[in-house]
Amino acid sequence: MKKIIIVALLIFSFVFATNVLAEERVVLATGLSAGTDEKAKDEAVSRALRDAVEKAVGVMVEADTMVKNYKLLEDKIYSRVKGYVKSYEIISENKGDNGTYEVKIRAVVSADILEDDLAGIRVIKSSKGNPRVLVLINEYIDGDESTIDNVRSTMEKEFLGKSFKLIDKTQLTAIKNRDVSVSYEDPEKAAALGARLGAEVVITGTANAEFMEKSKPYGVSVFAYSAQANVKAVKTDTAEVMSVVSADSVKRAGGRKISANEALTECGKRVSDKLIKEIIEKWRSEIYNDMEIALFISNAGSDERTVILKELKGIRGIKEVNEKSYTNNLIEIDLTIEGAAAKVIDKKIMEKLNYLKLKNKTPNRLDFEVSKVPGKASRTKTNDSVIKAVQTSVVKTEEAESH
């Protein structure tokens, strides 16, 4: 009975906190990061943004410690920092004498939905590096390919209206309808298609308009068309599906084409509204909470693999290290990291594992190569092989001379 009362009070406090935060709050926040360069500053700013949100929703954050023994409730309500920074300004920054970068900000924080807040969306997108978006939609009217691309054009207009960066339309001429159809069913192919054109997010899908009926109210011919659109957003560097949405619409007009095009256009608006909201929420959560990144390390022998997995767990900002596979000296790892450390996690890894060489970096993926044997910084694998060959040669020569 006692536990039930506590849980009820906590749920009430959660609801109360959410209602209180319906309005904006201006808070002062501080972020700290090891280092004195620009990357350290970026991490400090990210931590200050999170600190600002935590302060603004302090009732909820403090409640998290109160329910630590009630795992289910914690997962459902308190495990995530809610809210977002609509805008902020840096009021002071100090590199510090102890190698720590300190940033203080004044932030405007809100718990409202980001749907129509362009300023808040810009902060989110900027924190994610302003990802570029590619929109690929196959569109059909009565089973035939549409030449107007109502849904894609409408979606691009809606995304541009929210200040998203889009891939230039001239690059779409090389993409065939078959590729778009396959990409909707296969996220990895969608990711490859988007990455080829320089996008960080690819939106792929299909839209169909079908004739419903013809009527003659007051002697005037009216054509009705129903349309449906199904789309998904995929990260191009990891093939992770960010969102899957659908929408439908029915329109009536004096002509078949007009009715079909209007129905498809309305579908484009509706799926855009849903998709933008879910993509921004995904990014918001990654910034203020934890995020997953894929880590690939090549040229790693079994001994190096053991050392790497152990040392990764000791890096600040990395919360979980989950090895997915180890094949042909390639380690594939899923890292759970603090959102605040996302921009500088590659630097942290190389500082701790100085025998790794960065080969490629994207927002959600890092590719490294083992260039030196751990613990033997001055000796590469190639040098080891040469030394071993020379030693073998010396031994053979000595044996020959002894005979």
The predicted-structure confidence for 161-173, as pLDDT tens digits, reads as follows 988 999 876 666 6
pLDDT band of 202, cuts 50, 70, 90: very high
**CATH architecture classification, 290-370:** 2-Layer Sandwich (3.30)
| Token duo for residue 189 | 């192919």
Residue ranges, CATH 3.30.70, the chain = 290-370
> Tens of pLDDT along 203-259?
999 999 999 999 988 888 999 999 999 999 999 999 999 999 999 999 999 999 999
Average pLDDT over residues 381-394: 46
DSSP state of 148: S
Residue ranges, CATH 3.40.50.10070, the chain = 132-287
Select the more confidently predicted residue: 63 or 321: 321
Residue ranges, CATH 3.30.1660, the chain = 2-112
- Sorted by sequence, the CB contacts under 8 Å of residue 106 that are 6+ apart come out as 26, 27, 28, 88, 89, 91
Average pLDDT over residues 97-105: 86
pTM of the model: 0.71
* pLDDT over threshold 50, residue 262: yes
- Per-residue burial over 369-398, b = 16 or more CB atoms within 10 Å of its CB, e = otherwise: bbebbbeeeeeeeeeeeeeeeeeeeeeeee
> Tens of pLDDT along 282-306?
998 888 888 999 999 999 999 999 9
CA distances to 141, 215, 260, 270, 312 from 256, in Å:
10, 12, 6, 21, 61
pLDDT averaged over every residue in the chain? 80
CB 364 within 8 A of CB 347: no
CA distance 330 to 105: 42
| Token duo for residue 367 | 């590719």
CATH of domain 2-112: 3.30.1660
Cβ neighbour number for residue 209 with a 10 Å cutoff:
30
Select the more confidently predicted residue: 79 or 198: 198
CA distance 163 to 158: 9
Average pLDDT over residues 358-382: 75
**CATH architecture classification, 132-287:** 3-Layer(aba) Sandwich (3.40)
* pLDDT over threshold 50, residue 382: no
| Token duo for residue 13 | 């406090």
By DSSP bridging, strand 132-141 and strand 100-110 are unpaired
Distance of CA 100 to the CA centre of its chain: 28
> Tens of pLDDT along 348-357?
999 999 999 9
